[in-house]
Amino acid sequence: MPLQDFLAGAALFAVMLAAVVAATALVVRRRLRHLDPLETGLACVVIGTAILIAVHLLPLMLGVLSRAGVIAAAALAVGLAALVRPTSEAVAPVDRRAREPAPASSRFSWALAALAGGFTAAAAFAHLARWGGDEVIGDDPTSFHLPGVGRWIQEGTLWQIDQFVPLLAQGNYPNNGDVVLLSTILPWHNDFLVRLPVVLFLVTTAVATFAVARELRASHAASVLAGAAIVSLPVVGYVTIPRALPDPIMWTTFACAILFLLRHARTGRRSDLVLAGVGLGIAAGTKWYGVSSVPVVVAIWVAARALAARRAGRSRRLLDAAVLRDGALVGGLALLGMLVWLVRNLALSGNPVFPLDVELFGVTIFSAPRDVIRDEVGFSIADYAGQPEVLAKVAIKVVEGLGSAPLVCAVGVVAALVLARRGGRLAQPRVLVLAIGAVALALLYTVTPATALGLRDTPSLAHANTRYAIPSLLLALPVLAWVAGRLPAVAGRALEAALALGVLYGAREGYQVTGGRDVVAAAIALAALAGAAWLLWRLRERRVVLVAAALAAALVGLAAGDRMQDRINDDRYANVDRGLDALLRSAPGDKRVGLAFATYWSLGDLSPVWPAFGTRIDNHVEFVGEFVDGFLTPYGDEASFRAALERGHYDVLVVGRSDIARQNTAAEGWAIAAGWRTIALSERLRVLVPPVGAGTHEGGAANVDGARS
């Protein structure tokens, strides 16, 4: 990327980000000054994320997405935030009422927390250092997350179903998380910075989990341990830094919502409900397992509120007016956060949750065609009830993805259900409700499709989808931290030690720690950064020092960003596969690329879909197929396939070969019979260019490798 393009993109990104920060600061200062510093920081995360999504989503909805359109929407956000007026609630002092004292943390507990938290942070930082200059990998990000963002940039609208892999419905996913990824890609039309939001939300997931445990009045050391535990799960390292999946956005906003729901139970402030509803809305609009988890949380919270009102004698009705009003506020905001994606699906696929059937009391409200892939491999854990030999295989995959955390949390939840009721009375209702929520979400996980992913009786890919259980653990880990401080000393310390051992194992596996050198170097770097931050905090009254530090940080960030994009873009996706290399050489930009896959395949955890878009997202990429009953489907006959090749005017055709290496597929034979010339052939790919003299986008691509068919 030329330096002037990099600097122009950096300027646009800085302006957009500054506007989002300004709008967030205006709202927080005028409405949320009663929060303490930690709560204020997490409120900023929720509000800032909502504004960031909104300033990109508005142009997308209007069909005018562009860099200028986003800047205009960001300016509008600042203007609207300036109209917010303070309330009497907002200017009240920091709220510390009704907080019971937290148990003291022993030296042993602090040692465990420091070891677990420090090792996890160093392992993650070292992992980031290894991957920071490399391209994003993974089937999901390179098959649909990033390609979907690329198509938004090209078309400027979200009113389309962008699908690049046949027989799946990835184009119907909720996309709040992808909009956040878009914010780092649009300024440069390049993905070199796409890991930034994923890493930031990974950190805030740990902070939010700590804050939930602190709100429950868990000991500080146990709260730190809970925060470290949630980001040390092996599956977390697997899906975040190398693959840049948007799941951490869902985890952070979900945990923040839980924090503010708990806080509302203590303070009764309406602003807590607004923050909780916004957080749940972002979470539900980010992942399908957010769509299923959020209603469960809202239902349990409303039921707990109603029961509390009846116990207090405030209402004899099943739901009094206050509970209904608050439930409507939280539920309405949660629905609003995913509404645009449901409307898109309804408008374009005829079903808001395509490809699922929606039934009410036995009556089909929205129907969906047969989901072939889900029927073949998308089994849930519950589908294998009564089959202990298969459940044993699933258990192994769960341990691969979540380590020992589910077992330790199960012990903690059972203990919480006992300790929360003392002397026959409900002494800790918030803990009890959170424990019940954790159990409900764990049960939901077992019935969620694809939690036992793999062919029948062979859940070989189930470990990747153990992330669907993380909402349950976001509730269970703070409960565990609360329990550890209220058990007898020996039992509490043993529980903390078991969790700490799980953290060390999980961080080692998830962040691929293979030796001590990288971790030690990362720990030293983190210590230096922490020391610099502490020094700046001490000098916070000296504005000249802070301005100088900010300028220095900006210059260092620019230099680091330019070096990072150089490393990534100079050899972007090169030397992975001979066929992929030929594709990159034949279609460097402004080309039309056709894709024809026999099955859902990868190049060792990489799909060629995203590389086919080109370094600056200026290739038009599409699957050579048709939509049948809402599913992208390969052509079943040669005549239709050849007609599609002629209509598409493709410069390059990439055919995915059979899962059985070196086996030809029908699409290969049809293309060759139509005169398309093979320029590269590997075990997984055949790359072809049109016949000589055929009318392509720009006259076709040159023969690269001279491979024969």
* C-alpha triplet 124, 125, 126: angle, nearest 5°: 90
411 band by pLDDT with thresholds 50, 70 and 90: very high
Residue 305 pLDDT > 80, yes or no? yes
CA distances from 86 to 32, 33, 41, 89, 596 (A): 9, 9, 19, 8, 57
Count CB-CB contacts under 10 A for residue 137.
20
pLDDT at position 658: 65
CB 474 within 8 A of CB 368: no
CB 127 within 8 A of CB 241: yes
CB 511 within 8 A of CB 241: yes
Q: Find the mean pLDDT for residues 145-152.
A: 97
36 vs 316: which has the higher pLDDT: 36
Rounded Cα–Cα distance for residues 247 and 386 (Å): 32
- 555, with CB counted inside 10 A (0-12, 13-18, 19+), is exposed
Task: Give the residue from 613, 598, 604 showing the smallest Cα distance to 575.
Answer: 604
Q: Is 588 helix (H, G, I), strand (E, B) or coil?
A: coil
Q: What is the DSSP letter of 598?
A: S
Whether the bond between 355 and the residue before it is cis, its omega within 30 degrees of 0, is yes
Rounded Cα–Cα distance for residues 443 and 435 (Å): 13
Token representation of residue 243: 């693959």
Can you list the domains of the chain with their CATH numbers? 3-123+137-368+377-507 (no CATH), 516-570 (no CATH), 578-689 (3.40.190)
pLDDT at position 539: 77
Task: Give the residue from 257, 255, 286, 280 showing the smallest Cα distance to 176.
Answer: 286
101 band by pLDDT with thresholds 50, 70 and 90: confident
Q: How, if at all, do strands 652-656 and 685-689 pair?
A: antiparallel
In DSSP notation, 94-121 reads PP-TTPPPPPPPPHHHHHHHHHHHHHHH
* Tokens 């609009």 sit on residue: 285
State the average pLDDT for the chain: 90
For the stretch 238-289, pLDDT in tens is 999 999 999 999 999 999 999 999 999 999 999 999 999 999 999 999 999 9
Give phi and psi for 194, each to the nearest 5: -70, -20
Residue 660 pLDDT > 70, yes or no? no
Task: Give the residue from 444, 707, 475, 491 showing the smallest Cα distance to 586.
Answer: 707
Rounded Cα–Cα distance for residues 148 and 170 (Å): 9
Count CB-CB contacts under 10 A for residue 376.
12
**One-letter identity of residue 287:** K
List CB contacts of 434: < 8 A, sequence separation 6 or more.
216, 258, 262, 416, 475, 478, 479
Task: Give the count of alpha carbons within 13 A of 598, CB side only.
Answer: 19
Count CB-CB contacts under 10 A for residue 698.
10
Q: Find the mean pLDDT for residues 410-419.
A: 93
Token representation of residue 224: 């730190």
Residues in a beta bridge with 622: 594
Share of the chain above pLDDT 90, in %: 73
Q: How, if at all, do strands 363-366 and 620-623 pair?
A: unpaired
- Measured in residues, the chain has a length of 709
For the stretch 6-47, pLDDT in tens is 999 999 999 999 999 999 999 999 999 999 999 999 999 999
pLDDT at position 342: 97
pLDDT at position 314: 63
Whether the predicted model's global pTM rises above the 0.85 cut = yes
Rounded Cα–Cα distance for residues 235 and 466 (Å): 7
Q: Residue 688 is inside which H or E element, if any?
A: strand 685-689
Q: What is the 3-state secondary structure (H, E, C) of 284-310?
A: HCCCHHHHHHHHHHHHHHHHHHHHHHH
Residue 671 pLDDT > 80, yes or no? yes
Within 545-617, strands assigned E span 592-597
317 band by pLDDT with thresholds 50, 70 and 90: low
For the stretch 50-83, pLDDT in tens is 999 999 999 999 999 999 999 999 999 999 999 9
Residue 602 pLDDT > 70, yes or no? no
pLDDT at position 706: 37
* Tokens 């000589």 sit on residue: 692
Task: Give the residue from 601, 439, 503 showing the smallest Cα distance to 236.
Answer: 503
Q: Find the mean pLDDT for residues 224-229.
A: 97
- Segment 288-291 long-range contacts (CB within 8 Å, at least 24 positions apart): 288/173, 288/174, 289/250, 289/448, 289/467, 289/468, 289/471, 290/174, 290/250, 290/254, 290/338, 290/471, 291/174, 291/338, 291/353
Rounded Cα–Cα distance for residues 640 and 624 (Å): 10
Token representation of residue 436: 């019940």
CB 318 within 8 A of CB 306: yes
Residue 700 pLDDT > 50, yes or no? no
For the stretch 540-593, pLDDT in tens is 777 787 788 888 888 888 898 889 999 999 889 998 889 999 999 999 999 999
CA 329 to chain centre: 25
Residue 599 pLDDT > 60, yes or no? no
Residue 427 pLDDT > 80, yes or no? no
Token representation of residue 189: 């039309």
Give phi and psi for 633, each to the nearest 5: -135, 135
pLDDT at position 467: 96
For the stretch 445-468, pLDDT in tens is 999 999 999 999 999 999 999 999
Token representation of residue 459: 């859940």
Residue 307 pLDDT > 50, yes or no? yes
Token representation of residue 698: 């720009």
Rounded Cα–Cα distance for residues 478 and 228 (Å): 11
Q: What is the 3-state secondary structure (H, E, C) of 132-182?
A: CCCCCCEHHHHHHHHHHHHHHHHHCCCCCCCCCCCCCCHHHCCCHHHHHHH
Share of the chain above pLDDT 70, in %: 92
Token representation of residue 34: 């009663």
Residue 333 pLDDT > 90, yes or no? yes
For the stretch 491-508, pLDDT in tens is 999 999 999 999 999 999
Q: Find the mean pLDDT for residues 531-544.
A: 79
pLDDT at position 102: 85
Residue 708 pLDDT > 70, yes or no? no
pLDDT at position 701: 43
